[in-house]
Structure 1
Amino acid sequence: MACLKPFEQLAKFAASQCRQVPGYQPMKLPSKFDNIVIAMSSGVDSSVAAAMFSGFPNACGIYMQNWTETRSEREPCHERDWKDVQKVGAHLNLPVEKVNFEQDYWLDVFEPMLRDYEQGVTPNPDIGCNRFIKFGKLRAHLDASLGTGNYWLVTGHYSRVLQTESKALGLNSWHLLRAFYAPKDQSYYLSQVPSAALPALCLPMGVLTKPEVREMAHDLRLPTAHKPDSQGICFVANSQHGKISRFLEQYIPSHAGEIITLDPITGERTEWGRHTGLWNYTIGQKVGISMPQGDPRYQGAWFVADKRVDTNEIVICKGRDNPSLYKNRVVLKDFSPLGNLNDVQEAVKNNLAGGAIHIQYRSLQEPAKVSRCCWETTEAGESRLVMTLEQKQRAMAPGQYCTIYHKERILGSGTILASDAVEANK
């Protein structure tokens, strides 16, 4: 593999029969004289993606500064990352541009995240960043400078954008699919990307494995070849705080409340301690609380079973696998289809019986099969998507994005409004 140039390696894997998806055409790649913009984050994946197209005459890199950490004594993460991007650009003889979307990130991603935490739900700002910044503001910036539809946007995400070759899937339509390399699949994080972005989006990592990418980076002697993968949100992981709770306490006021248990039979309420804010907890999280360990009824670890926003209470239960943590019906709001809604609804309807419709509400989790699915409209005119799962799932927290798949293809996603346990035939 190392004897081939990076783009030749990519083309080889893109055409490989074993890495294709039935019903879809092989991955389309930019042509030599196309305008190509590589979104570079300073990580090894986007660096290898840049190397693949660095020999193309109209290729360039672009780095987005979305956040400035002002409270840390260390060098801000965006400065370190920008320096790494410049090193990669110089190594590849690839021009790179830096753009600043901090204001957009603050308004479209950060402030909504804070509001969600204050309301007691569990948001995912990474998905919001992809929707509003990487495939929103960045595309608008490139449309203005290069012309709408006049460029390819290349990113280092592990996912695939493929065009259908089957009438059953919608002839010549574009879809977002899981990556070939399942351990790094990032399709969940891209589930809110607008459909209009897909025809000109190139995700080269989608047909590669992480070891292959690392090997390419090593062979090319890229400055980021041995850089660790990023973990979590940049503005938290690289700040002086290191943990989301310590970071958020700068922005969200504390509203103390009770930590309670509920008797499963009588419903009797017992107080065990105080919490500093609902935003500090998520469903399924282990709680460090002192319980009377001399009593067998209270020995062991305790977990968050519910967050009562109206009374500002945390309800806890004993044991990681406590039945109260497992639900098999989930209600989504603000569902965003990836494609035409009617086509998405038809795909769900036609494939439920075969067990090919499933969900994920966390990245890289084992997909959960859907047995029933229906769209409902509330009295206020709001649309809800209600799904019953074949098996109960642990810790489906309100606010999390829930993505619906038909086999490898993303059909769309919405945010979890509620979940509960029902009989399988209901």
Structure 2
Amino acid sequence: MLSRYLSLVGRRSAAQYRPQRLPAKFDNVIVAMSSGVDSSVAAALFAEEFPNTRGVYMQNWSESQSLDDPGKEPCYEKDWKDVNRVAKHLSIPVEKVNFEQDYWIDVFEPMLRGYNEGSTPNPDIGCNKFVKFGKLREWLNEKHGTDNYWLVTGHYARVMQEIKGKELFRLLRGIYRPKDQSYYLSQINSTALSSLLLPIGHLTKPEVRDLAKYADLPTAGKPDSQGICFVNNSQHGKFKNFLKHYLPSSPGNIITFDPQSGAKTQWGKHDGMWSYTIGQKIGISMPQGDPNYQGPWFVSEKLKDTNEIVIVRGRDNAALYKDTIRIENFASLSPKEDTINALRDISALTLQFRSLQVPVQINSCTLNSSAENLDITINVASKQRAMAPGQSCCLYVGDRVIGSGPISHVNNND
């Protein structure tokens, strides 16, 4: 299995980086298994050749798993069964650890606060930062000794070591762009990189599926998971209903706003700032007989002081497009001086404020650095649709992740 994998990735080493690393034969190899085909293949790659390979399954969420269907089996129970089937097939031990309390405090509650304040947080980034590469590493350090192990996950990203200079470990995009997950890993602690293996990031999804069939894994035909971990279906209607269970109703007006006259017109009500996100299509009754109101309407702004949501007509309305953002508390994956140097040379610098979007070219970058924080103001080369406070903005040089941080302000540099 491992030799088959190496034959696939051997020709894919980037020129400035060392080839994909492997542990020594008797090193401790811990595979974070989620029950999906990607982490199952990651486990299979090491199980046969490395005798100290074992799996770990994190139960991070069980609260009201089936709020809309109380009789349905919770996802974590089905996933744990699948993990055990894979571990048995590979003849490796697997252990379940419960980090629900940590997830609730460090990921879920901050997400709720963000939505309640009208921003657009990303809990998957927080989960990777605080739980999968935070609490899990603390637990493994206590169990195996600090960094006395390799941590393997099934993410579509790469960790590679530079050949020249400081020979730093870098986080890179996965080679298969349709599944690249480097955005979601952009705020993990940089100290994790030296002992982290991301073998799936060197493969395409079809190759992962082929390896799963080759190894006859029980999860070979399992569909990819969709949405964030605590909502099985990530469509907005489902997620909005989910949030209703945790956030208070704070009704306000849905309005249109005439920037020339300053006049506001009310068209409906919302349940709270969390009800809609910037750029989202809104289902609201408008006078379709009037040409000025025909067609779909979208959320363009949230007025926190008055608890109003502003809507505009048309998906490509100019009000939905902005060109300047401020990132506060930027989390760097490199030494701070190295990051500052990278940000000063914008020729190869791009950003993403959503996963899998086309990288956005940068027009200018202004740094406000202190001993504790790195705040950045960025003007992009072309206006972008639906940039919103709370989103994580990830910066790249080529395929290398510089780091990311939450967007605090969005405007136009007109």
Whichever residue aligns with residue 202 of structure 1, its letter is L
Summarize the alignment of residues 302-313 of structure 1 with structure 2, pairs less than 5 Å apart. Answer: 302-313=297-308
Alpha-carbon distance in structure 1 between the residues aligned to 2:79 and 2:369: 46
TM-score, length basis structure 2: 0.95
Residue number in structure 2 paired with 1:340: 335
Could you tell which deviates more after superposition, 40-49 or 114-123?
A: 114-123
Q: Counterpart of 2:231 in 1: which secondary structure?
A: helix
Whichever residue aligns with residue 51 of structure 1, its letter is A
Residue number in structure 2 paired with 1:410: 401
Alpha-carbon distance in structure 2 between the residues aligned to 1:32 and 1:314: 59
Q: Counterpart of 1:243 in 2: which secondary structure?
A: helix
Among 174, 192, 203, the residue aligned to 2:187: 192
Residues 122 and 213 from structure 1, CA distance in 2 versus in 1: closer, same or farther, beyond 3 angstroms?
Answer: same
Summarize the alignment of residues 288-303 of structure 1 with structure 2, pairs less than 5 Å apart. Answer: 288-303=283-298
Whichever residue aligns with residue 309 of structure 1, its letter is K
Residue number in structure 1 paired with 2:386: 395
Q: Counterpart of 2:328 in 1: which secondary structure?
A: strand
Residue number in structure 2 paired with 1:284: 279
Asked if structure 1 preserves the Cα contact closer than 8 Å seen for 2:226 and 2:233, the reply is no
Residue number in structure 2 paired with 1:110: 108
Residue number in structure 2 paired with 1:48: 41
Residues 274 and 27 from structure 1, CA distance in 2 versus in 1: closer, same or farther, beyond 3 angstroms?
Answer: same
Q: Counterpart of 1:253 in 2: which secondary structure?
A: coil
Alpha-carbon distance in structure 2 between the residues aligned to 1:223 and 1:311: 54
Alpha-carbon distance in structure 2 between the residues aligned to 1:399 and 1:242: 20
Summarize the alignment of residues 13-24 of structure 1 with structure 2, pairs less than 5 Å apart. Answer: 13-16=8-11, 19-24=12-17
Shift of 1:383: 5.0
Asked if structure 1 preserves the Cα contact closer than 8 Å seen for 2:227 and 2:233, the reply is no
Whichever residue aligns with residue 217 of structure 2, its letter is L
Among 265, 274, 298, the residue aligned to 2:269: 274
Alpha-carbon distance in structure 2 between the residues aligned to 1:203 and 1:13: 15
Unpaired runs of at least 5, structure 2: none
Alpha-carbon distance in structure 2 between the residues aligned to 1:377 and 1:216: 46
Unpaired runs of at least 5, structure 1: 1-5
Alpha-carbon distance in structure 2 between the residues aligned to 1:22 and 1:256: 56
Among 128, 131, 136, the residue aligned to 2:129: 131
Residue number in structure 2 paired with 1:223: 218
Residue number in structure 2 paired with 1:261: 256
Alpha-carbon distance in structure 1 between the residues aligned to 2:147 and 2:75: 32
Asked if structure 2 preserves the Cα contact closer than 8 Å seen for 1:330 and 1:418, the reply is yes
Shift of 1:270: 1.0
Alpha-carbon distance in structure 1 between the residues aligned to 2:373 and 2:400: 26
Displaced runs of 4+ in structure 1, greater than 3 A? none
Residue number in structure 2 paired with 1:3: none
Residue number in structure 1 paired with 2:364: 372
Residue number in structure 2 paired with 1:149: 147
Residue number in structure 2 paired with 1:363: 355
Deviations 1:52-108 (A, max 9, x none): 011111000000000114343211110000000000001111111100001111111
Asked if structure 2 preserves the Cα contact closer than 8 Å seen for 1:159 and 1:176, the reply is yes
Residue number in structure 2 paired with 1:331: 326
Deviations 1:128-163 (A, max 9, x none): 000000000000000001111210000000000010
Alpha-carbon distance in structure 1 between the residues aligned to 2:295 and 2:335: 49
Aligned residues: 407
Alpha-carbon distance in structure 2 between the residues aligned to 1:228 and 1:344: 38
Identity of paired residues, percent?
56
Asked if structure 2 preserves the Cα contact closer than 8 Å seen for 1:43 and 1:224, the reply is yes
Q: Counterpart of 1:34 in 2: which secondary structure?
A: coil
Asked if structure 2 preserves the Cα contact closer than 8 Å seen for 1:14 and 1:26, the reply is no
Residue number in structure 1 paired with 2:87: 89
Residue number in structure 1 paired with 2:238: 243
Among 374, 397, 421, the residue aligned to 2:412: 421
Shift of 1:217: 0.8
Alpha-carbon distance in structure 2 between the residues aligned to 1:318 and 1:265: 17
Shift of 1:374: 1.3
Residue number in structure 2 paired with 1:64: 58
Could you tell which deviates more after superposition, 264-273 or 366-375?
A: 264-273
TM-score, length basis structure 1: 0.93
The Cα RMSD (Å) is: 1.6
Q: Counterpart of 1:370 in 2: which secondary structure?
A: strand
Q: Counterpart of 1:261 in 2: which secondary structure?
A: strand
Establish whether residue 176 from structure 1 lines up as the match of residue 183 from structure 2.
no
